[in-house]
Structure 1
Amino acid sequence: MDTPTALTIAGSDSGGGAGIQADLKTFSALSVFGASAVTAVTAQNTRAVTLVKVLSPETVMAQIEAVRADIAVHAIKIGMLGSAANAHAIAQALKDFPGPIVLDPVMVAKSGDALVADNAVAALREALIPLARVLTPNLPEAARLLDRSVAETQEEMATQGRALRALGAEAVLMKGGHGAGPVCVDVLVTASGATAFSSARIKTRNTHGTGCSLSSAIAANLACGATLEAAVAAAHAWLQRAIARADELTIGSGHGPVHHFHAVWS
């Protein structure tokens, strides 16, 4: 039996807290082997993104094809695209992939720096959303994809989730980390309705990579054979613990990372 394996297609974060680095840490923390295809190289730390170098679609496709030609991939997570051309190349490379795809529409870094151009957002919407087993936008990302105001209530989150499903995604997880109030609520919208996952909002500045880590945790759980609802529930609980333990790390002077390996070392 093949070892559970997930492939992340995303940008590199030189600071190690988000992007490919966070995805691979998450896969490993959840007992899944991680493979990767890099879409862009960023120069960043906990405070800022100072450079973004987008790789060519040919380079991205070659990485995906090399992995899939030799390694049995059970789930795929897609993050930062870098360009519209990369979005279309990834869609072409994955058109025959039979497993679950978790699409995280990464648009802005925790520092506030933009990571994707408007034409890439359109390409993501048109080429990749229809391939997604689950789309995992945060509230500002969902609003940008739909050209609407940011959802402020659980009902509005569910409404926007249904609108995003109408674009072709099988399911949508509206991530509530950017919301307000003492409780953080994620809303999973599927064909059968909306399910809320709630947890206490933790007061910490060390939240760099939370979106990447949640989506890759879902992919890891799906790679192990979990149902979507179970994969989301387990990922939500795991990330809550990773955030709760984040202050045990002292990394940088800005938004530090969550503690991916909180169950292993402190």
Structure 2
Amino acid sequence: MIGSVQRAMRLLEAVADHGYGAPAKQLAREVGLALPTAYHLLRTLTHEGYLRREKGLFFLGEAAERLSGSATQQKRRGMVNDALAQWRDSIGAPVYYAVYREGEIEVLGVADSPGIPAAEEWADFRETGHAHALGQCLLSQLDEEARRDHLDRYPVRPITPYTLRDNRSLLRRLEYLEHAEPVVERQEYALGTACAAVPLTTGATAAAVAISLPSHQADRLLPTARRLQSEIDRLTGTLAISISI
């Protein structure tokens, strides 16, 4: 073990315990360091941005706060990935998680396995939201202006024989989707694949979770999507999935 690193980390932990700051003498006493050693480490940590000093008191600096924010984000991502894996195992299908953020469709997580592989992204998900269930589910949660803005940038274009043909057809479909109901597409994005997506209502950001199945199992699609929806309702409260990750 590198002793100086251990001592510096103990000082950081001690500073973190004092929301209103603490002087060097108190910090040295709490971590059991000689005052000159504590001063040297505190100056180094301040120089590197992990601490800041105000009126003789030490506080956590921007670098430490960035680490804390990153750790929180990683924890949230881990919670999401764990939930996706749990849903995959429970329903026996690949599970996808996506949000609509800053005008773009972002797929943030996929849980599959060798026995239940995910659909291949052969056409950019961001540009083909009109064709896959995730995209249609996300677009259905936007207001009319946001939808039209998206379609101005990514107009509907057929990518399989089953894809909707134009913007008007997509907008008409979105208008008739019922709130909180699964969105289903069969071979619109990829031949041989059927997908269903359900909205994820935690937070203000448009979000959705989806599944995919081989098209010859399409009769399983809606029942499996409804089972996924019940799993989501059961777990989101306890896992507190953050949509803003």
TM-score (normalizing by structure 2): 0.32
Point out the structure with max Rg over C-alpha.
Answer: 2
More helix by share: 2
Flag the structure with more relative contact order, 1 or 2, with Cα contacts below 8 A and sequence separation at least 6. Answer: 1
